[in-house]
Amino acid sequence: MAWFDTNARALPWRDSKDPYQIWLSEVILQQTRVDQGLPYFHVFLDRFPSVGHLASASIDDILLAWEGLGYYSRARNLHKAAKQILSEHGGKLPRTYREWLTLPGVGPYTAAAVSSIAFGEKEAVLDGNVMRVLSRVFAFEGIAQSSSGRKHLHSLASDILNRDNPGRHNEAMMELGALVCKPRNPSCGDCPVEKNCQARILGRVHEFPQKRPSKSVPHFDISVAIIRDDKNRILIQRRPEDAMLGGLWEFPGGKNEKTESFEETCIREVREELAIDVEAIRPIVSVKHAYSHFRITLHAFECRQISNAEPTTDLPLAWVLREELSNYAFPRANRKLLEIMSDEEASENGTLSQDED
């Protein structure tokens, strides 16, 4: 903690002690670097300055503010948790670790972090940074990410927790992992626990944390249809709430089956999803994107409807003008596609696109 006192980064939620800001920062920073998450933190606080504002906002507004940050279930759960805080806690953020665990999207890490930092609960946090520090300091030979590995590391974290100032201690552990005990090239010479670090003493720092052998990442080809009506509006549909990227909007389409061309996938998926027939007029562009557990290539086709039926589906649909698409939250790969379409339209028209304007 003495090291933390002089080396901690100045971050907006650290001085405030406002539990809402601490909760928001913890959720935003899961799986996200601080420099990436910081602008989102400011946008969120600006648009939803209290838990009451968050609870009464529409999920569309929340997803739009979250767009680009990934792992969208975090945003949906923030919204649900804010509503629960209003209905069950009278709008006051809970104080105890156990109460935090009852909120949607709040697991042991977030519950321990928020309750210890904001309210002094004696609960040790175990995030990726803390796991790495502990694996090295104790030269832990098990697989850190396995359930038995996590259990063991969590009991070590609890054993060494400073019970007089658990929140500060947790913050210091996480900061040590983020700034000094980094995944590659840790700065052992600047480390306050160098003399106690077993991995350092044994000269085996790079062997910890021990990992499972890596698996190959699957890849999917996805075809999507850009369908316009006679008013030049584009058809978009909303993903189911319970699916990955749930609640976000996208162009109709789906996964390629190996026996068909990307164009045939596009036509088949539109028929299956919307019960209409289209023809693919031209390929627009292919966009690659990597998610955490798989990669996709999105193949977009300009399509024309050739049946008279109205598109029909259980999911919400919208016909939207090109310049209004920015009001809808899209997955990153769809957004990349829109940016390329803008550039293409600009070069065809000989004008700058809106984004470049």
Indicate the DSSP class of residue 32.
S
Taking CB under 6 A as the rule, does residue 193 contact ligand SF4? yes
Q: Is the Cβ of residue 197 or residue 298 nearer to ligand SF4 in the bound state?
A: 197
Q: Describe the crossing of helices 19-28 and 34-47 by its angle, rounded to 10 degrees.
A: 130
The answer to whether 26 is a known catalytic residue is yes
Amino acid type, 238? R
Minimum CB–partner distance for residue 187 and ligand SF4 (Å) = 6
Which of 179, 337 has the CB closer to ligand SF4? 179
**Which stretch, 63-71, 185-193, 225-233, 251-259, contacts ligand SF4 (CB under 6 A)?**
185-193
| CA-only gyration radius of the chain, Å | 24
The token duo for 226 is 């850009």
CA dihedral 336, 342, 345, 351 (to 10 degrees): -140
Give the residue, chosen from 62, 144, 191, 325, that forms a contact with ligand SF4 under the rule CB under 6 A: 191
Nearest-10 Cα torsion for 39, 42, 48, 51: 110
- DSSP 8-state assignment for residue 213: P
Cα dihedral: 274, 276, 277, 283 (round 10): -40
Bridge partners for 133 per DSSP: none
Residues in the chain, overall count: 357
Site size with ligand SF4, rule: CB under 6 A? 14
Question: Among residues 1, 59, 139, 188, which is the contact residue for ligand SF4, using CB under 6 A?
Answer: 188
SS3 call for 50? coil
Residue of the chain from 194, 264, 277, 302 that contacts ligand SF4 (CB under 6 A):
194
> Stretches 8-16, 53-61, 190-198, 276-284: which one binds ligand SF4 (CB under 6 A)?
190-198
d(CA 116, CA 135): 22
Q: Which is nearer to ligand SF4, 196 or 327 (CB)?
A: 196
Which of 24, 180, 287, 296 contacts ligand SF4 by CB under 6 A?
A: 180
Amino acid (1-letter code) at residue 258: K
Query: For ligand SF4, which residue of 1, 86, 205, 317 counts as binding (CB under 6 A)?
Result: 205
CA angle at 117 for the pair 113 and 119, rounded to the nearest 5°? 110
In the bound state with ligand SF4, the residue whose beta carbon lies nearer, of 97 and 208, is: 208
Please tell me whether the peptide bond between 240 and the residue prior to it is cis, using omega within 30 degrees of 0: no
Q: Which of residues 130-149 bind ligand SF4 (CB under 6 A)?
A: 133, 136-137
Residue 279-308 contact track with ligand SF4, rule CB under 6 A, x = bound: ------------------------------
Instruction: List, by residue number, the catalytic residues.
Output: 26
Would you tell me which residues interact with ligand SF4 (CB under 6 A)? Answer: 133, 136-137, 180-181, 186, 188, 191, 193-194, 197, 199-200, 205
